[in-house]
Amino acid sequence: MFHRLLHLPIVLTGLLGFTASAAAAELSNPLEVAAKVDASLLAELSTSAANPMQRIGDEEFLRRAYLDIIGHIPSPEEVTAFVLDPAKDKRAKTVEKLLADERFGENWGRYYRDVIMYRKTEDRAEIVSGQLEDYLKTQFNTSASWAKIATDIVTATGDGTENGACALIIAQQGQPEEVVSEVSRIFLGVQIQCAQCHDHPTDRWKREQFHELAAFFPRTASQLILTPDRREIKVVSQDFFLNRQPPMGNMRRRGTAEHYMSDLKNPTDKGKLMEPVFFATGDKLPLGTKDADRRGTLAKWITEQDNPYFAKAFVNRLWSELNGEGFYEPVDDIGPDRDCTAPKTVEYLAQEFGKTNYDIKWLFRAITATSLYNAPSAPRRNPDQTPMQTNVAQRLRGDQLFDNLLNALGVSEPQPPGGAGAMGALYGRRFSPRGNFNTVFGYDPSERRDEVAGSIPQALVFMNGANVNAGIRANGRTALAKTMSEIKDDQSLVGEIYLRVLAREPSSNEMKTSLAYIKKVGNRNEAFEDLQWSLINSTEFLHRK
């Protein structure tokens, strides 16, 4: 059965190619692809067909899709409208609506900002973090392909405060070894840097192959000049070299003509001259190639269809984010010697994604239509249990949680205090209320999600934070005060607060507990403050279920 299914889409796209004239129509229908993914998963994971995947209710789907796609929970009005909508295709329509929302690019721009910036080895790269976020936001919102984004980032030059695509190179100080480690990890899902110092014992990559990859970047450097009268942080590209004294220590302000692999036994030696060779396909460039050609060609090879890693790395990451479990884990380690839970399924989805020319929104449509995306969430499975039988709850990222908190408290985003000095302006976003919140709540999205733990400082912010406690007051100009004056019936008010904080109605149990608590406290204001406090401090508030 499985083989037949795998061949179907190819036939299908072939047919469409004959009939459709518009290029867009040649894309495989994401809903059909989703159905085939479902069948393929079922075949590969050989679970009992008598036990079909359950489907979550509308409220749960809506909160999940909103958080995943735009990073916010739906408003009480949106929840009600969605639940009451009789349309059969309302889930797909909602996904479409969310992909067209500005906040889609904002959410995923912030996500990939974190993917890049959490691995920075140059702390001052924080200066360009905001620009990176803006760049990515624009790309995602204008439906730029994943290939375009990868190309922009690999070939970036110029001022990082103007071109956000420079951020990856700046974050690694333009050091060729670090830059290619990140390019390989993020765009190919291959942790080739393990071979930086020695041939890897459990991997096929040789030390030479790592340094051949680094040989695409010797002429690139990151220049960071921060003095009172001069501020530059830029990626420079250089093709003419004079004999200069090497800079002191490991500072690297300008490139070198070629890359040398150091001799580990003799570290003062110049090392071995390396040709630029792309390990994934074996394509190579001659020594002496100009910087723009090196990086431009590398970007082309990385994004070409015959590179087996590019599409798969993105599919694996997005699948993992949306379903809570990757085909490969961690998300950025999909090399050929790694275990994969469903190799044929990921291969198929990656091929389809490749055919769309790496259309990011298309992949969202396809994955959100799978049964797994619509399945209830369960705790992380034990290693001996069958993979991918349920969706898995995930802790929200700092930005999502910050927006959730603003929503719950009914306040708009506080801005950083004005009149900051020059350094304040440079690091403005870092020290904004959102930036400070992210310092406490953010995490590296490439880490295994089940190992992202809550911390005491986080609990303290929610338990005792002045802003949280001012925001939940039942008097003054808070959202709670307004709602309390509008809704006099306690039961309706409990429902309203649940909707606003958790985007769902309370269960009958929860309603009973809440009403009993209100009665016991005997002070309506205090009781509702406590209820709102408890929901904001709940496990559910912190998670995308």
Partner 1 sequence: MSLHLQSDISISRRGQFRRRDFLRLVTAGAAAGGLVSWQDVMAESAPLLRKQGMACILLWMQGGPSQFDTFSPKPGHANGGETKAIATAAKGVEISENLPRTAKVMDKVALIRSMNSKEGAHPRASFLMHTGYLPTATVKYPTLGSIVAHEIGDHEFDLPSFVRIGQRGPGQSDTAGLLGVNFDPFAMQAQDVGRMPQNTTLTTTDPRYLRRLGLLKDLEGDYAASGGKAEVADHAKVYAKAASMVRSPKMSGFDLSKEPQKMQDLYGNTPFGKSCLLARRLVETGVTFVEVALGNWDTHQDNGERTKDLCGQLDQPYAALLTDLAERGMLDKTLVIWTGEFGRTPRINPRAGRDHYPRAFNMTLAGGGVKGGQVIGKTDSGGDSVTDRPVGISDLFQTICHSLKIDAQKENMSSIGRPIKIVDGGEVVKEVFA
Question: Residue 344 or 380: which CB sits closer to partner 1?
Answer: 380
Q: Is residue 411 a contact point for partner 1 (CB under 8 A)?
A: no
| C-alpha–C-alpha distance, residues 476 and 493, integer Å | 18
SS3 84: helix
Question: Residue 14 or 476: which CB sits closer to partner 1?
Answer: 476
Residues 431-490 contacting partner 1, CB under 8 A: 431, 444, 447-448, 450-451, 453-461, 463-466, 469
Q: Is the dihedral of CA 528, 460, 75, 545 positive or negative?
A: negative
Residue from 38, 106, 321, 333 that binds partner 1 (CB under 8 A)?
333
Residue among 216, 109, 70, 235 nearest 162 (CA):
235
Distance of CA 213 to the CA centre of its chain: 25
Q: Is residue 178 a contact point for partner 1 (CB under 8 A)?
A: yes
Residues 335-374 contacting partner 1, CB under 8 A: none
| Binding map of partner 1 across residues 194-223, x = CB under 8 A, - = no contact | x-----------------------------
Q: Is residue 376 a contact point for partner 1 (CB under 8 A)?
A: yes
Question: Residue 86 or 246: which CB sits closer to partner 1?
Answer: 246
Q: Is residue 510 a contact point for partner 1 (CB under 8 A)?
A: yes
Are the CB atoms for 271 and 260 separated by under 8 Å? yes
SS3 483: helix
Question: Residue 140 or 328: which CB sits closer to partner 1?
Answer: 328
Question: Residue 393 or 503: which CB sits closer to partner 1?
Answer: 393
Helix 490-502 / helix 508-521 crossing angle, nearest 10 deg: 120
Residue from 38, 182, 321, 352 that binds partner 1 (CB under 8 A)?
182
Question: Residue 252 or 300: which CB sits closer to partner 1?
Answer: 252
| Binding map of partner 1 across residues 227-266, x = CB under 8 A, - = no contact | ---------------------xxxx---------------
Question: Residue 30 or 442: which CB sits closer to partner 1?
Answer: 442
Number of residues that bind partner 1 (CB under 8 A): 77
Q: Is residue 316 a contact point for partner 1 (CB under 8 A)?
A: no
Q: Is residue 269 a contact point for partner 1 (CB under 8 A)?
A: no
CB crowding 359-381: b at 16 or more within 10 Å, else e: bbbbbbbbbbbbbbbbbebeebb
Which of the ranges 14-22, 120-128, 133-141, 476-484 carries the binding residues for partner 1, by CB under 8 A?
120-128
Burial class (CB within 10 angstroms; exposed 0-12, middle 13-18, buried 19+) of 209: buried
Residue from 36, 90, 110, 119 that binds partner 1 (CB under 8 A)?
119
| C-alpha–C-alpha distance, residues 305 and 111, integer Å | 25
Residue from 94, 191, 374, 438 that binds partner 1 (CB under 8 A)?
191
DSSP 198-230: S--TTSS--HHHHHHHHTTSTTEEEEEEEETTE
CB of 5 to partner 1, least distance (A): 30
Q: How many helices (H) and strands (E) does the chain have?
A: 25, 9
CB of 438 to partner 1, least distance (A): 11
Residue from 145, 521, 524, 525 that binds partner 1 (CB under 8 A)?
521
Are the CB atoms for 434 and 399 separated by under 8 Å? yes
CB crowding 29-43: b at 16 or more within 10 Å, else e: bbeebbbbbbbbbbb
CB of 383 to partner 1, least distance (A): 5
Q: Is residue 51 a contact point for partner 1 (CB under 8 A)?
A: no
Residue 30: cis peptide before it, omega within 30 degrees of 0: no
The position carrying tokens 């992909």 is 99
Which of the ranges 151-159, 212-220, 283-291, 375-383 carries the binding residues for partner 1, by CB under 8 A?
375-383
Q: Is residue 544 a contact point for partner 1 (CB under 8 A)?
A: no
Question: Residue 9 or 324: which CB sits closer to partner 1?
Answer: 324
Which of the ranges 117-125, 235-243, 291-299, 307-315 carries the binding residues for partner 1, by CB under 8 A?
117-125
Residue 233, φ and ψ in degrees, nearest 5:
-140, 100
Instruction: Tell me the two tokens of residue 136.
Output: 């990515």
SS3 543: strand
Q: Please report how many Cα atoms fall inside a 13 Å half-sphere around the Cα of residue 534, on the Cβ side.
A: 14
Question: Residue 181 or 289: which CB sits closer to partner 1?
Answer: 181
Q: Is residue 534 a contact point for partner 1 (CB under 8 A)?
A: yes
Q: Is residue 145 a contact point for partner 1 (CB under 8 A)?
A: no
